[in-house]
Structure 1
């Protein structure tokens, strides 16, 4: 096998420019390697100008698109493949191809794909349904593995790194300090240290008196698709913990209580119906009716606050819950991506009630819930994690205009 010599910086810049410009004629094709020609054609299929003669798009058949997906996975890492897939769905209208099992089996599974399948679930034919469930299960299992331990640890109490002990659990051992403390026990013949004295962290004491009910109230309108996926995963994890009672309420103009399905996150996701309008006030009213002890309840409202119902009543109801002692938190998004689109006027009004309003990434959500359940200052927690909260810095006159 011939190994190509590495390119100089100048040659690599030239190569990237040729790939960016695409192959429009045979003369340009000659200056690209065979591999780069294939890469360029794969990108042209999605980003090229289809009006130009000779340009080939993705086509509409499952085999041709499956081959194209195979090609881009050859040339790009999974994170870039997911971006290209998302562009393909949006630019080429390929959602209908998700209904084909041959195509679905070749797609790089991620949160955005699960969201697309959730939106199409009623249109998925029987021949594709099991494949779709398998794809969703793959993503759910990966997310559970990534997030479950941190969530359970944070809510149960976890490790308090401000308090040390010489009798730590194995998982809580501070190995750098333990090694330093036992250097005099080094055994040259074994080339190792005998750790006679362990140093580690204590488990954080949990204030169980504050733990009662957590309600995740999630906007299932189309713009909140990724947030619904993550919220459902977290709800399933939290429901498995005996120290709290967890409810999952999803809404658009209707309300669906998915609490009974939390044992199986895949069933939860297939129970969600993305799209439609939004009636946040109606959903919050439903959640308020589920709260028997306000001072032991936590309502996490996940929505972009584009209210299609009665916004004035919504603010009034949230203010009442807040005064009653319910720990209300508004998340504008629960996603890996950047700043969400949201209703700034309504966000500022709710922030003016003293209710924290901000967006959160899935990696930080376990710590957020631990902070909330201990009834610590959520706004201060957000500031410590460089999370921008919505500040009520407008006058009442400005808010009403």
Structure 2
């Protein structure tokens, strides 16, 4: 590895190599003998990273303890840099994607609650999903003034989710494909045969291919809808916070759609029917209490009591399936619903990643009882419901 070389003029400072600085930031002070010292901006980045990741107790054991940044004294006392100072620094020093990662690690890995409970911090942060999750987890620590400021984060992120998810959810209910052409270019409505016919004039026999200049798409016609029920049962344990957020937004998107009556029920060891607040997902989320135990069986029994016509009902259990109640009772309830003709979904995740961590044993038993088990994005759930409702 090369080292910085001297400048042309006598006494000129060594030029900074951005690649070497990047490695120095990654590897810590021990690499400085190979990379050379950091420039002023990289040193400021190093200090911001140290404020956060210097809390990792494994660093010393691995021999990777970072150097103490200039201007800071040693010892076991708390850092003189506040969360407000740190946020100001990272917003000045890092790109947006890195800032969101740093904020996520601060609130989720190191549980630095000041990020969302300090009024000065809340006045500076840009709303994003990481901070929304943090607000929902820590709002019980907030006084009314701070809670009012935190609500700004909830409103902004929920508004963004609604704007992105509502068209996708509603589009699933616009009906089946027809033979009429559409100007809306959706991959699922691509008209292969019509596209080939419309572009045959551009066939290249030597290369045996058709150049597509005018793709064709089917339009969709509204289906005749009979009344169905969708009952969303949402586990509000702390690990399911992403699914809680997306369930609230999805329920708001589905509310008042023709042919569908939507219920939203949250549960831990108790069951709370939130259907009356579905049209205001911000208020709904501000009222959710994350944490506590999990009694899925009790929630499933409550859902069974809501069902009017099993053959026109979808019960979606959104949970990681780590049951703190009676798993045998849960399986019996699910089997009874399926035998009566209801559609039961076991969703280990309902969010935009659909990447779940869940109890596979209990999920497998629910699948054997007749439930459809997996993970879905809100759009996939909407398409599943639309297909059922439109039959």
**Cross-structure match for 1:385:** none
1:386-397 matched pairs, under 5 angstroms: none
TM-score scaled by length of structure 2:
0.78
Contact 2:190 2:218 in 1 (8 A): yes
1:105 to 2:111 alignment: no
SS at match of 2:231: strand
Q: Of 382, 385, 390, which residue of structure 2 is paired with 1:366?
A: 382
TM-score scaled by length of structure 1:
0.76
2: CA distance between counterparts of 1:220 and 1:354?
Answer: 24
Task: Choose 1 or 2 for highest CA Rg.
Answer: 2
Pair 366,212 (structure 1): closer, same or farther in 2 beyond 3 Å: closer
1:223 to 2:239 alignment: yes
* Residues 306-328 of structure 1 deviation map (CA, whole Å, 9 limit, x = unaligned): 11111101000000001111111
RMSD: 3.4
Q: CA deviation at 1:156?
A: 3.4
Q: Of 59, 68, 77, which residue of structure 2 is paired with 1:54?
A: 68
SS at match of 1:300: strand
* Residues 265-311 of structure 1 deviation map (CA, whole Å, 9 limit, x = unaligned): 10110121100001101111111111111111111110011111111
SS at match of 2:230: strand
Q: CA deviation at 1:238?
A: 0.7
Q: CA deviation at 1:227?
A: 0.6
Q: CA deviation at 1:25?
A: 10
Pair 242,33 (structure 1): closer, same or farther in 2 beyond 3 Å: same
Pair 374,78 (structure 1): closer, same or farther in 2 beyond 3 Å: farther
SS at match of 1:202: strand
2: CA distance between counterparts of 1:256 and 1:79?
Answer: 36
Contact 1:81 1:108 in 2 (8 A): no
1:282-361 matched pairs, under 5 angstroms: 282-337=298-353, 339-361=355-377
**Cross-structure match for 2:223:** 206
Moved more, 113-122 or 340-349: 113-122
* Residues 343-394 of structure 1 deviation map (CA, whole Å, 9 limit, x = unaligned): 121111111123211122345333333344346xxxxxxxxxxxxxxxxxxx
1: CA distance between counterparts of 2:230 and 2:248?
Answer: 13
Q: Of 250, 255, 261, which residue of structure 2 is paired with 1:234?
A: 250
Q: CA deviation at 1:219?
A: 0.3
1: CA distance between counterparts of 2:233 and 2:284?
Answer: 14
| Paired residue total | 347
Q: CA deviation at 1:34?
A: 2.1
SS at match of 1:94: coil
